[in-house]
A and B are shown apart, each in its own frame.
Chain A
Amino acid sequence: MDSFIVISLIKIFVVFGALMTILAYLQWVERKVIAHIQVRPGPYRVGPHGLLQPLADVIKLITKEDLVPPYVNKVLYLAAPFLAITMALLSISVIPFGPAIQVGGYQTWMQLTDLNIGVLFILAVSSMGVYGIALAGWSSNNKYALLGGLRSSAQMISYELPLSLAIAAPLLVSNTLSLRKLVDTQDGWLWNWNLFHGWQYVSFIIFLIAAFAETNRVPFDLPEAENELVAGFHTEYSSMKFASFFMAEYANMITVSCMATLLFLGGWVAPWPAAYGSGYVPVAIFAAAGVIMLFHGLHPARRRDRLTFLPFGLILLLAAAVFLVPLTQSALLPLFWFCAKTGAILFLFIWIRGTLPRFRYDQLMQFAWKFLFPVAMLNLLVTGLVVAVFS
């Protein structure tokens, strides 16, 4: 029992720390990718290639003046950002990042906790997250904030339906609600993933569209449409309260990407079995990157390249070596595949933000109710029929 609590605490600290770092750097990645899509360098001043920019942003946000306007409803105004960030961070606790691993003779899962209703838990928590935004908009006592809050609650109610229906289809194929077992059913080859095995292409696309809307991302970012609503529901928020809304949005993005990975892309499972050498993919990637860096470090184009490329090349080679050690390999390989798949979906989020314009509000609602919802319903019906006939 005691060792269980200690291990759980360690896991919580590791996951929380990693999540916070990823949140901060996801924003850096987003700014960089968008910048390169728009042919500009992006953050460049703080640290090499702006790598310390997230740190500077955090310091800026913490030290900014924390305003509470006199006309707000104090209790709800203060509770709203707290609610948003809590609900956003809570759902990460049921997401499995990998299989069971041995740590000093103690077996533990790379997951904070496994619920039999893991998928439902995430749905429940994300549906509670709406309150953060809705109440923030209302309690600010500001017309732009109110409109933003209204839009966001209407949008989230509407898109939750196709989202849930799209989640239900792969669950039918896998026949479980536990996220751990969900991954186990997709083990083996690429075509055992729910996306290919169960012909869940339609569900996958509906899930992605609804997930974009649920996380208030472009092209569905109407709650914070700058040209109409100033900053939408968080217009009246400053300093860390604003930052918690910001972090909640990115945390939700990470959660839905993890969900897409687990539901459709096989979670931490490699695209092909380890017997056919999938375990050497990360080694090859890291080693190739390390060798290229070492080469450029030894033949520097600029004087400072000798100082930067050489150590980084050695670090990458070391990372490649770590993937070959059997002890660390069993933990790192699943983590690598999980991060690769989740990262690909996160990149898609950013890519679309750099590509698509915003919907008009009536288009958004019509799209949800008149197209996405019937299609999701039909998809669930067909999937259910196919599962019933073939099982």
Chain B
Amino acid sequence: MDLIVFLVFAVIAVVAAINVVVQRHPISSAVSLIGVMGSLAVLYLLLGAEFIAAAQVIVYAGAVMVLFVFVIMLLNAGTETRTGRSFIASLLGVPVLAALLAMLAYFTARIYPRGTEVRFGGFRGGTAEAVGRALFTTYLLPFEITSILILIAIVGAIVLARKELE
């Protein structure tokens, strides 16, 4: 049962991810990206990381992607025209992709040796309590620094936006 759900949503995630690139219209790409986020949330949930799954939907699928869709709608972006493919891209594309996948497979196999089983629902660190404890004890400094970084980014964005007005 878990395996079936996993396979279904893994396939949806991959297909939607490919669709993001293939689609010509920005809105269709954005909607496909929402599909990717949503199926990733289901995969987290399958592993037992319920809080992370909820955060994934609220933050990524809910907030970030709504902003994307909002901006695309606001600018009324039309269909993208396909530019002529560059020679280097068509030459290097497939080998680079293959190399990337091979590296991913190699390191995954090295970190998790043969026989390491994935137990659905086995992950215990995904509850709200566990995430909160980790954020405010072990990773307090990175957490706080990230929040300052985001604040700086907000201030920077406002400064850049004001500059254009003058």
**Chain A residues close to B by CB (< 8 Å):** 73, 75-76, 115-117, 120-121, 123-125, 127-128, 130-131, 134-135, 137-138, 146, 149-150, 153-154, 156-157, 160, 177
Contact = CB atoms under 8 A, between A and B. Distances in A.
Nearest to B74: A150
A177 B131 CA distance: 13
Contacts of A127: 57-58, 61-63, 66
B128 interface: yes
A135 B69 contact: yes
A255 to B, nearest CB: 16
B27 interface: yes
Interface of B: 27-28, 31, 34, 38, 50-51, 54-55, 57-58, 61-63, 66-67, 69-70, 73-74, 76, 127-128
A146 B67 contact: no
A134 B54 contact: no
Nearest to B41: A124
Interface of B is mostly: helix
Contacts of A75: 28
A123 B69 contact: no
A204 to B, nearest CB: 22
A117 B31 contact: no
A137 B73 contact: yes
Contact of A149 (B34, B57, B62, B73): B73
A157 B70 contact: yes
B67 A157 contact: yes
Contacts of A73: 27
Nearest to B37: A128
Nearest to B50: A117
Given A76-B31, A135-B31, A124 B54 contact: yes
A157 B58 CA distance: 11
A137 B63 CA distance: 18
Contacts of A150: 70, 73-74
A175 to B, nearest CB: 10
Nearest to B73: A138
A177 B58 CA distance: 15
B128 A116 contact: yes
A342 to B, nearest CB: 24
Contacts of B27: 73, 76, 135, 138
B128 A123 contact: no
B70 A128 contact: no
A45 B9 CA distance: 51
B31 A128 contact: no
Given A149-B73, A150-B73, A157-B70, A177 B62 contact: no
A157 B69 contact: no
The 10 closest A-B pairs by CB, nearest first: A127-B62, A120-B54, A124-B57, A124-B58, A153-B70, A117-B54, A138-B73, A117-B50, A124-B54, A130-B66
A76 B27 CA distance: 9
Contacts of A117: 50-51, 54, 128
Contacts of B62: 123-124, 127-128, 130, 160
B58 A120 contact: yes
A239 B74 CA distance: 28
A76 B31 CA distance: 9
A115 B73 contact: no
Given A127-B62, A128-B57, A146 B50 contact: no
A355 B51 CA distance: 40
A157 B73 contact: no
B31 A134 contact: no
A157 B54 contact: no
B21 to A, nearest CB: 18
16 contacts: A73-B27, A75-B28, A76-B31, A116-B128, A120-B51, A120-B58, A125-B57, A127-B57, A128-B38, A130-B66, A131-B31, A131-B69, A134-B73, A135-B31, A146-B76, A149-B73
A157 B66 contact: yes
A2 B62 CA distance: 36
